[in-house]
Amino acid sequence: MTESGLRAPEPRSSDGATLSLSWPAGRRLLWCMAWLALLVALAEVLARTAVVRAHLPAPSFGVANRQFELQWARLEAFVAEEGQPNCIFIGSSQVLRGIDPLVFEAAYRQKTGQDLRCFTFGVRGFDPDNSYEAARLVLQEYHPRLLIFGTDIPSYSTERADAVRGALGSHAWVRYRLGEPVVEGWLIDHSAALRAYLPLRFWFRASFDEQQAEAERFDTQITREGFGRLDHNSPVIGEPPQPGDSQEALFDILRDYTISGDQLASLENILALRSRQQVVIVEMPLHPTFFYFFGNGRADYDRGLQVVRAKIRPTQVEFIETTDLHLIADSGWANRNHLNTQGASVFSQWLGARMAELALSGRLPSIAEHGTP
């Protein structure tokens, strides 16, 4: 420690520039950039090679919801094989498990004689907010004539909204595809190597193997049209849920049911899409014993339904309600809010017929032709 160091005179600008490089400079950086270019090019070539691709999991866009990515991959494959869909069902896992496009198309054809190409884009955990972001993506890419949003009243719960809201819209790739200038999103969109790597990014986490297995299991349940088959049914479906029930977490979410203003705003956003595309809202069915999860039972549910109905009514958007139809027998439920394959078949047939009636009555323009109405 020196005193002189503290008392040295102030240097003057005439002492010369701080940055004093001698040339050639930066050869390490040049080498680095050359190597980077080579390595990236090599990775891109490998990622686009069929043999390598066959050994890799489905590509990822870096979105936290793996089911969304798998559904998106299904949709891209569907479009590649069949062309752009006329109608897309969008919503949560209730839509995924509850609407079989093939059955829907058959029922519609039977009444109208018109062929449709439909795709189910349901994703677990998708609340109105995520559904709106997904709808924007789907509309922008594939311009279906009809967007059917399968809504479920529990998803408007403030408790649930706080847990999952905003997940999809914040991801770089989604933002880029929706038109924001996001460098990372651009990279993901243009780099097959990066998309091939991204599913492996959690390799070091203990939960990776389990999540990977779950994704693979999920993938095998999804049909070409995006419908998620569930072939089991719940043996306790007729009994009111008790603590210890496999869905008991719903007690916590719905006990003090309040309606999230943010989720209602997202519903309004979905309704606003009618200026670009035909929009229909469908209330996804719940088993009557589901209402026991609400603190005030059916009264809470009806209150939520009334608020949703009040939002939709002024917009002239068709709202197909299902609460009191009791369409599905107990054998058609995988659990209290998800239909199994049998229940989905019944519901899809009913929905196809209902949509056909709307089309025939002129309340819904024809959806058989692709393109903006």
Partner 1 sequence: MTVTSLNFAAFVLVLLAAYYLVPHRAQNPLLLVASYVFCALLGWEFLGVLLLVTLAAFVSAYGVVAGRRARRVWLALGITVQLGALAFFKYSDYFLPQAFKLLHLLHIPTPDAGLALLLPIGLSFYTLQAISYLVDIYQGKSKPAANPLHFALYMAYFPRLIAGPIERAGTFMAQLNRPRRVKNASIARGLGLITLGLTRKILVAEILRPMATTHPFHVPTDYSGPQLIAALIAYALFVYNDFAGYTSLMRGVSSLFGIELSSNFNLPFFSRNFTELWTRWHISLSTWLRDYIYYPLSRALLRRDPGGRRLITVLVPPLVTLAASGLWHGATLNMLAWGAINGVFVAGERLISLARPASPPDKRPRLQQWLGRAVVVPLVLLALVPFEATLPQAWAYWRGLLVWTSTALPDARYLAPVALGCLVDWAQYLSREELFFIKWPRWLQGLLLALALLAVFLITRAGTQGPFVYQEF
Question: Which residues of this protein are in contact with partner 1, per CB under 8 A?
Answer: 1-13, 15-22, 25, 27-36, 39-40, 62, 197-198, 201-206
| Phi-psi label, residue 329: left if phi above 0, alpha if psi -120 to 50, beta otherwise | beta
Alpha helices in 57-154 (DSSP H): 66-82, 93-98, 101-112, 128-142
* Residue 37 or 329 having the CB closest to partner 1: 37
Q: Toward partner 1, which CB reaches closer, 88 or 198?
A: 198
Packed helices 298-312 and 261-272: angle between N→C axes, nearest 10 degrees: 40
Q: Which secondary structure element, helix H or strand E, spans residue 283, and what is its range?
A: strand 278-283
CA–CA dist 69, 217 (Å, integer): 14
Provide the minimum distance between the beta carbon of 31 and partner 1 in the complex, in angstroms, as a whole number.
2
Using the minimum distance from each CB to partner 1, give the nearer residue, 46 or 368.
46
The nearest distance, CB 158 to partner 1, in angstroms, is 25
The 10 Å CB-count burial string (b at 16+, else e) for 170-207 is ebbbbbbbeeeebeebebbeebbbbbbbbbeeeeeeee
CB of 73 to partner 1, least distance (A): 18
Rank residues 171 and 336 by Cβ distance to partner 1 and give the closer one: 171
Amino acid at 33: M
Q: How far is the CB of 122 from partner 1 (least distance, A)?
A: 25
Report, in Å, the least distance between residue 167 CB and partner 1: 13
Nearer to partner 1, 25 or 50 (CB): 25
Least Cα distance to 58 among 220, 230, 185 occurs for: 220
CB of 19 to partner 1, least distance (A): 4
User: In angstroms, what is the minimal distance from the CB of 210 to partner 1?
Assistant: 12
C-alpha closest to that of 265 among 135, 132, 141, 175: 132
What is the DSSP secondary structure assignment for residue 59, as one 8-state letter?
P
Name every residue whose Cβ is closer than 8 Å to that of residue 52 and which is 6 or more positions away in sequence: 46, 196
Contact 63, 171 (CB under 8 A): yes
CB of 312 to partner 1, least distance (A): 37
Pick between residue 118 and residue 198 the one whose CB is nearest to partner 1.
198
Nearer to partner 1, 172 or 259 (CB): 172
Distance of CA 60 to the CA centre of its chain: 14
| Closest among 335, 334, 163 to 253, alpha carbons compared | 163
Nearer to partner 1, 13 or 220 (CB): 13
